């Protein structure tokens, strides 16, 4: 009776093992040979033959233990891509993040040169303007005073000129003394000097000679002061409004005009990286809005202080913006080469697997069917490739796709 019960228990355990192995084989696509080897029974093809030496502790020739190897069936091979290890160049680069801002060296705050109230606005935020284009006008008491002085000086000169001509005629007939004529000549010269000074004073307000001549001819002062753009660029700030009283240098400026042909990129880099950066070094800048496009620039300023709270140093670069794509406030990444590129063994990034303990491995094969896990030491990463410092050599075959699948298969088989 006890013998019967024992045989029944053994049979049930065997059936359970077969079912578990079948489920694992179905899920992961393992071959019948593998299932039978796990159950301790040979496959139909292996009947009468010795057990496959791949299930022993290690392979001949001192290779790594076969516990780190996986055999794939024909269906599983479709999930893995095999390529030879090659050499590639890896640039020596530093990377950092920053933000785009206007080039303050090419930005101008436009103030009125004299106080007054704004009476006209001729540009909106975001407008592109040219040098000399009118931005706004003000009613300027100072301009009115200067033009009034000009009109008066012109009247005095006209009077003294007529008086001198009259006295010259009288002096020819000895009707007046020489002293009177000389005094009239001196008054006329003084009036000429006063008119020249008055014209120069009005010219300071931006009036042209033609406009000054018209003021004199019409005897009419115009208090409207025109404030033009000092540079060509884009209106990046506007604080002007009709009727607003403005004064020279009193913030905020009515307008700010920026030349956006170049922009700034501001980045805060770790102080440990700061020795690698030099003024004049070329940089490649990427922004999230244009991920497939690089912007060229160069470092113009490296901060003289380290932020005590973040331990970072300001690095400012001037970036070309020929197609007007960059906007102030954009998030940016930049790359700068700090040394000559190195040529080294390389494996596609998908072929390198990070283990739970933080180490990295690749899967090496000789026959494209049996794959062996091999630890490697990685270095730089560039354009989808990992630099391999130790572990594999150029020409060896490795799994460049499906490496994670192989690691999962090994982990499942080891349970």
Query: DSSP for 136-170?
Result: EEEE-HHHHHHHHHHHHHHHHHHHHHHHHHHHHHH
- pLDDT by residue for the chain (415 residues), tens only, comes to 444 444 545 444 554 555 544 444 444 444 444 444 444 444 433 333 333 333 333 343 344 445 688 888 888 888 899 999 999 988 888 888 999 999 999 999 999 999 999 999 999 999 999 999 999 999 999 999 999 999 999 999 999 999 888 888 888 888 888 888 889 899 999 999 999 999 999 998 888 999 999 999 999 998 999 999 999 999 999 999 999 999 998 999 999 999 999 999 999 999 998 888 899 999 999 998 898 889 999 999 999 999 999 999 999 999 999 999 999 999 999 888 877 788 999 999 999 999 888 899 999 999 988 999 999 999 988 888 999 999 999 999 999 998 888 888 888 876 6
Return the pLDDT at 78.
84
Return the pLDDT at 109.
95
Contact 230, 120 (CB under 8 A): no
Report the SS3 class of residue 381. Answer: strand
Return the pLDDT at 31.
47
Q: Which domains does the chain have, with CATH numbers?
A: 2-51 (no CATH), 66-84+352-413 (2.40.420.20), 95-103+260-340 (2.40.30.170), 109-257 (2.40.50.100)
Contact 242, 270 (CB under 8 A): no
Contact 371, 363 (CB under 8 A): yes
Report the SS3 class of residue 80. Answer: coil
Long-range contacts of 305-310 (CB under 8 A, 24+ apart): 306/271, 306/274, 307/268, 310/268
User: pTM for the whole thing?
Assistant: 0.60
Please compute Rg for the chain using Cα positions: 44
CA-angle at 165, arms to 161 and 168, nearest 5°: 135
Residue in 401, 345, 384, 390 with CA at minimum distance from that of residue 83: 401
C-alpha 312/C-alpha 314 separation (Å) is 7
């Amino acid at each position: 009776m006890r013998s019967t019960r024992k045989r029944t228990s053994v049979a049930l355990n065997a059936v359970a093992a077969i079912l578990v192995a079948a489920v694992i084989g179905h899920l992961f696509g393992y071959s019948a040979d593998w299932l039978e080897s796990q159950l301790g029974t040979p496959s139909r093809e292996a009947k009468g033959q010795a057990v496959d030496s791949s299930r022993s502790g290690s392979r001949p020739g001192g290779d790594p233990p076969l516990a780190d190897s996986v055999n794939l069936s024909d269906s599983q091979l479709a999930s893995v891509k095999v390529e030879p290890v090659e050499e590639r160049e890896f640039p020596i680069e530093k990377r950092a993040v920053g933000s785009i801002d206007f080039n303050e060296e090419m930005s101008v705050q436009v103030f009125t040169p004299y106080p007054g109230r704004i009476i006209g606005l001729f540009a909106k935020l975001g407008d592109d303007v040219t040098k000399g284009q009118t931005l706004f006008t003000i009613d300027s008491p100072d301009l009115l005073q200067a033009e009034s002085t000009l009109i008066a000086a012109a009247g005095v000169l006209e009077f003294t000129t007529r008086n001198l001509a009259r006295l010259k005629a009288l002096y020819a007939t000895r009707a007046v003394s020489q002293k009177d004529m000389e005094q009239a000549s001196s008054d006329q010269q003084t009036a000429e000097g006063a008119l020249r000074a008055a014209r120069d004073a009005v010219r300071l307000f931006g009036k042209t000679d033609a406009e000054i001549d018209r003021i004199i001819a019409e005897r009419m002062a115009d208090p409207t002061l025109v404030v033009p753009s000092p540079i060509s660029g884009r209106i990046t700030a506007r604080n002007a409004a009709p009727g607003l009283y403005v004064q020279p240098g009193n913030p905020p400026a009515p307008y700010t005009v920026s030349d956006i042909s170049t922009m700034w990129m501001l980045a805060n880099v770790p102080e440990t990286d700061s020795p690698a950066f030099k003024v004049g070094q070329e940089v490649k800048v990427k922004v999230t809005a244009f991920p497939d496009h690089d912007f060229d620039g160069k470092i113009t300023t490296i901060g003289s202080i380290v932020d005590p709270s973040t331990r970072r140093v300001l690095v400012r670069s001037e970036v070309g913006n020929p197609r007007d794509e960059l906007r102030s406030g954009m998030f940016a990444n930049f790359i700068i080469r700090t040394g000559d590129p190195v040529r080294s063994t390389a494996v596609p990034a998908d072929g390198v697997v990070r283990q739970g303990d933080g180490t990295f491995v690749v899967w090496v094969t000789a026959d494209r069917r049996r794959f062996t896990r091999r630890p490697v030491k990685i270095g730089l990463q560039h354009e989808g490739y990992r630099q391999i410092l130790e572990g594999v050599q150029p020409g060896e075959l490795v799994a460049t796709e499906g490496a994670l699948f192989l690691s999962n298969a090994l982990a499942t088989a080891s349970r």
